[in-house]
Amino acid sequence: MSAPLPILYSFRRCPYAMRARLALAASETGVEHREVLLRDKPAAMLAASPKGTVPVLVLPDGEVIEESLDIMRRALSCNDPRGWLAPGDTMFDLVAINDGPFKRALDRYKYPNRYEGEEALENRARGLEILTGLEARLAGSTFLCGEAMSLADAAIFPFVRQFAHTDREWFARQALPHLQAWLAAHLDSPIFAGVMQKYPVWTANRESDGVPLRVAP
């Protein structure tokens, strides 16, 4: 009898869930994938993680990891064949900017009606300023931390994708050639295609999709 797999509660379009799935795929970690609807969260997920956000990883021993960056670090610390952790702790400074001021600006740009007193275009400008810093880094290297993809790239590009897709024509006009090329390369990558495959919504009375996330050759 095979050993039980970790259970991953995920939502396909959530950037936090995307980056967790990327790290799980890169680390060749098999999971039982449970796709959920955020408007109708399953009781099993809420029992494991009452805060009700994705991703949630439930390990076979019952440990629950409910932050995407923690899932990434745990998976890659167990197996990192692509060397995504190689740049070391300095790359987490970039992730902190993404998860803090950039995510704040992104939310208020993409969903201005949710935030009273916030102007979408002002927040777009704040986000663009941060992306201009990434553009400067990418002018000197293929990836954010050198010539090889790292956790930083995987953790950040799903949010840049969301920012870019809010107004694609405007984004395409910005003077961000290296960032735009970097984003396009990630979106066209086999590993991203693998983790963006569609799953039916999981319910407690149907079989789970207990297969490893696809890994690019």
Please state the rounded mean pLDDT for residues 145-169: 98
* Cβ–Cβ < 8 Å for 163, 137: no
Print the domain residue range for 132.
91-189
pTM: 0.94
What pLDDT score was predicted for residue 206?
60
* Residue 217: pLDDT over 50: no
Task: Tell whether the torsion through CA atoms of 186, 187, 189 and 191 is positive or negative.
Answer: positive
119 three-class SS: coil
What pLDDT score was predicted for residue 216?
39
What pLDDT score was predicted for residue 1?
57
Q: Provide φ and ψ at 42, rounded to 5°.
A: -70, 150
Give the total number of structural domains in the chain: 1
Is 22 within the bounds of a domain? no
Please state the rounded mean pLDDT for residues 31-43: 94
Is 183 within the bounds of a domain? yes
Is 208 within the bounds of a domain? no
CATH number at residue 128: 1.20.1050.10
Q: pLDDT tens, 96-140?
A: 999 999 999 999 999 999 999 999 999 999 999 999 999 999 999
Q: pLDDT tens, 3-25?
A: 889 999 999 999 999 999 999 99
